[in-house]
Amino acid sequence: DSGVTQTPKHLITATGQRVTLRCSPRSGDLSVYWYQQSLDQGLQFLIQYYNGEERAKGNILERFSAQQFPDLHSELNLSSLELGDSALYFCASSVSAVMGALANEQFFGPGTRLTVL
């Protein structure tokens, strides 16, 4: 058990809908990262939040957004869903290094499997 929790475990929805995925980081971790994992694309970095502020952006679509709350949990919002958005979505957390210092280990949650029909 990594200490990172994600809900829900599974989510089935229809095209055009909007969903929210939730992540609680390990106790003491200030950084939260979101990744998308599809069959042929490996782990794609979407976005990182550090202590409530957006820190880095990856290949995140404009239809997707995220935020990190004062209690450090994070939510990933996916809207106007398309069939191609079906994937596993992972959240990871780390203590997070100060800008410019060495990267820290990321601890992954169990993931949310999203199926868009």
Partner 1 sequence: GENVEQHPSTLSVQEGDSAVIKCTYSDSASNYFPWYKQELGKGPQLIIDIRSNVGEKKDQRIAVTLNKTAKHFSLHITETQPEDSAVYFCAASKGDDKIIFGKGTRLHILP
Residues found near partner 1 in the complex (CB under 8 A): 2, 4, 31, 33, 35, 40-45, 48, 50, 55-56, 58, 90, 92, 94, 96-97, 99-111
Task: Supply 100's token pair.
Answer: 């410019």
Whether the CB-CB separation of 29 and 74 falls below 8 Å is answered with no
* Nearer to partner 1 among residue 60 and residue 79 (C-beta): 60
* Nearer to partner 1 among residue 55 and residue 79 (C-beta): 55
- Please give the distance of CA 45 from its chain centroid, rounded to a whole number: 9
Whether the CB-CB separation of 29 and 95 falls below 8 Å is answered with yes
Residue 83 main-chain phi, psi, to 5 deg: -55, -40
In the complex, minimum distance from the CB of residue 63 to partner 1, in angstroms, rounded to a whole number: 22
User: Alpha-carbon distance 44 to 37, whole Å?
Assistant: 6
In the complex, minimum distance from the CB of residue 110 to partner 1, in angstroms, rounded to a whole number: 5
* Nearer to partner 1 among residue 33 and residue 64 (C-beta): 33
E-state strands within 58-100:
64-68, 74-78, 87-94
In the complex, minimum distance from the CB of residue 13 to partner 1, in angstroms, rounded to a whole number: 21
* Nearer to partner 1 among residue 64 and residue 90 (C-beta): 90
In the complex, minimum distance from the CB of residue 75 to partner 1, in angstroms, rounded to a whole number: 18
